[in-house]
Amino acid sequence: MLSLLRETIVSYAFIERNFNLLKRYLSWEILFFSYSIVNALTIGLIMVGRGSSKDVLYLVIGALIWGFLSIMMREVSDAITWERWEGTIEYTFMAPIYRITHLVGSCFFAILYGLLRTGLVLAIMPLFFGEHIDLRNANWLTMAVTVAISSLSFIGIGLMAAIFPLLSPEKRQAATGIIQSMLLLVSGIYYEIEVLPVWLQPISKISPATYTLKSIRAAMLDNASVESQLGNLFLLLIIGVLLIPLGFWVFHLGEKYAKRVGRLKRSG
C-alpha cells in the first residue's frame, strides 16, 4: 500500500513538472494554440456557404477531435524528448522509480493538457462560426465517456511512438508524424471512410480514431446516448486494453536497446 502511494506521488510529480515546463515555454504554447484555432477554422470554413450548419459542425468536430487525439499522442511520445531538451534523460532513466510510474505520469499529463487545449478551442469556435456551431443538442455524457475510453488507445500508440526519440533523436518527429498521417488518412477525420479506396477501408476498422469520431459525431450531431454507442465504445475499450500493454512492452524493448548502445544522453 505504501509502495503504491509512493508511486502515485511520483507520477503526480511528473504531471506537475510537465505543467511547469509548459509555463517555461509559454510563448511557444500560445503559438501552437493559435495554430489549433486556425486549423479548425480553415477546415470548418470549407462548408460555410456550401453546406448546412450540420456539415460545418461535422468538419469542426473532426478538426477538434483529431487535435485532441494528436496532442495526446504527441505529448506521450514527447516524454523522452522533454528529458533530452532539459538534459535530464540520464538521471530520469537511472532514478530508482518504475518506468511505468514515469510513463503513467506523462500519460495523465497528456490527457489533461489535451482536454484543456481542445476545450479552449471549442469555446472560441462560436465566435467565428456563430449559428453554425449549435451544441444545444449535444449529449455531453456520451462525449465524455467516448473521450475517456478512446484515450486508452492513443496512450498506447503514444507509448510505442515514444521509442523514436530513444532510437533516433534527429528523426523522431518525422517518424511520429508518419504514424499520425496514416491515422488521419484512414480514420474518417474529415470524410466518411466509405469514400476511401476499397482496399484501404479494412485498415480503418482497426484505427481507434474511426470509432472515436463515429461516437463523438453521433453525440454532438444527433444527441446519441451512451447505450446507442456501446458497440463503438466496446471496440475502443478492446483496442485500448490491447494497445497499452503492447505500448509498454515496445517501449521497454526500446529502452533496453538504447541503454545497450549508449543512446541515453542529451545529444543522442
Q: What is the pLDDT along the chain (268 residues), one digit of tens a residue?
A: 557 677 777 788 888 888 888 888 888 888 888 888 888 888 888 877 776 778 888 888 898 888 888 888 778 777 777 777 777 777 777 777 777 788 888 888 888 888 888 888 888 888 888 777 878 888 999 999 999 999 888 888 888 888 887 777 666 667 777 888 888 889 888 888 888 899 988 999 899 999 999 999 999 989 999 999 999 999 999 999 999 999 889 888 888 887 787 766 655 4
Quick check: is 158 in a domain?
A: yes
Nearest to 69 by CA among 133, 15, 148, 12: 148
Residue 266 lies in a domain: no
Answer whether residue 55 is part of any domain. yes
Domain of 132 in residue numbering reads as 7-261
Is 50 contained in some domain? yes
Let me know: does 64 contact 121? Beta carbons within 8 Å. Answer: yes
User: Is the separation of the CB atoms in 102 and 109 below 8 Å?
Assistant: no
Q: What is each CA distance from 203 to 18, 65, 196, 210, 264, in whole angstroms?
A: 34, 20, 10, 10, 35
Note the pLDDT of residue 268: 45
CB neighbours of residue 26 within 10 Å: 10
Question: What pLDDT, on a 0 to 100 scale, did the predictor assign at position 1?
Answer: 58
Instruction: Indicate the number of domains in the chain.
Output: 1
Task: Give me the pLDDT at residue 141, please.
Answer: 94
| Residue 92 within a domain | yes
268 domain residue, yes or no = no
First vs last Cα of the chain: how many Å apart? 38
Q: 182-210 as b/e, with b when 16 or more CB fall inside 10 Å?
A: ebbebbbbeeebeebeeeeeebbeebbbb
Q: Is residue 94 part of a domain?
A: yes
Can you give the pTM of this predicted structure?
0.84
Is 118 within the bounds of a domain? yes
Position 151 scores a pLDDT of 87
